[in-house]
Amino acid sequence: MKLNMATDQRIVMTLDAGGTNLKFSAIRGDKLLMEYIYVPTEADNLERCLGNVVKGFEQVKVKLPASPVAISFAFPGPADYSAGIIGDLPNLPAFRGGIALGPMLEDKFKIPVFINNDGDLFVYGEAISGFLPAVNAALEKAGSPKRYKNLFGVTLGTGFGGGIVRDGELFMGDNICAGEAWLLRNKLDANANAEEGCSIRAVRRVYAAKTGIAFDQAPKPKVIFEIGMGKVAGNKTAAIEAFHQLGEVAGDAIAQAVTLVDSLVVVGGGVSGASPLFLQPLVDAMNDFYHKPGGDLRRLVQQAFNFEDAAQRAAFLKGDKREIVVPGSNRKIAYDPMPRTAVGMSRLGTSEAVAIGAYAFALAQLAR
């Protein structure tokens, strides 16, 4: 059943949960109904944290023009999302031993509750109303017959989240563990996972190492980015290298995923504002080569293009259109022998993409 979100009048309450703040809102159609409501997470105290989750949804509900049909939101894993049970969370230490958060909220609000991974919902939102339709619209405007149906996405922030949308549907896997980008191999440290090379702590760690300061003295990534752009004082070379390494690790991890899912790629998360320093190194890593006996081999079958760069975007949209003759006839058919993918930044903003993804996921589950 295909949903027409733009005209759907049902309301779903949403939440984007982080280690510091709980960010509440509500969606109707494919639009936010209100400004975000922020409530402290209080991650080290389970009773207060659960109380704040309830409090946030209560504050949203009283502002709504009609009763909500569901609650749908992002919460960190590990979790049994289908059962609404949250497991042992590194960033929320109060959650230990399995907390039935979904059933608790169903008991409180008397409506269905759906919980999912933030990376999954981010990509789902971008596939519905963000990057995926934006690329297809650009292809149509350019007169290209090519269209994309699949999207892989990552969020760069405290962690390295990921998600997969296949043919318009959120792909979750048999254990709801699909798209776990953080556990892909780290190109620059084969003994570590990718998250250790493309997260907030990775940027700070590299900057600290390059400048000879302690990790806890390293600025936040936003400041490191401003140093790299020459806007504030600091070690510009170290700042640029910190984000270059983030791009290289993220790009190689994304290439591992694209090898399997063959899709467009969208990037979001708290570090995404630094894309001028990491996006091209990310794309370069995807276009890198294996160096093997007998000669080099392209990292990907597809060529990756930086969709935020005007020249690369134009080349991606143009492709390699040509006509070939059908053997034994005078008939010609169109042919584009260039397999390609585009990598771009979130068109919605990470929080709004997560909210729209949560909304769409709830409606899809209610239709079953």
Fold topology of 5-121: Nucleotidyltransferase; domain 5 (3.30.420)
Mean of all residue pLDDT scores within the chain: 93
Question: What's the confidence (pLDDT) of residue 205?
Answer: 98
Under CATH, which number does the domain 131-347 receive? 3.30.420.40
Strand order in the sheet with 151-156: 169-171, 160-166, 151-156, 264-268, 340-345, 303-306
Domain residue limits, the chain = 5-121, 131-347
Please tell me the distance from the alpha carbon of residue 50 to that of residue 92, in angstroms, as a whole number: 11
| Token pair for 311 | 């020249």
Please tell me the distance from the alpha carbon of residue 196 to that of residue 279, in angstroms, as a whole number: 18
* Cβ pair 361, 124 in contact under 8 A: yes
CA 149 to centroid of chain Cα atoms: 16
pLDDT in tens, 56-69: 999 999 999 999 99
5-121 and 131-347: identical CATH topology: yes
pLDDT in tens, 164-205: 999 989 998 888 888 999 999 999 999 999 999 999 999 999
| pLDDT of 2 higher than 70 | no
| pLDDT of 1 higher than 50 | no
Helices (H) and strands (E) in the chain, counts: 10, 19
Worst-scoring range by mean pLDDT, 42-51, 92-101, 181-190, 227-236? 92-101
Q: What angle do CA 54, 57, 62 make, to 5 degrees?
A: 125
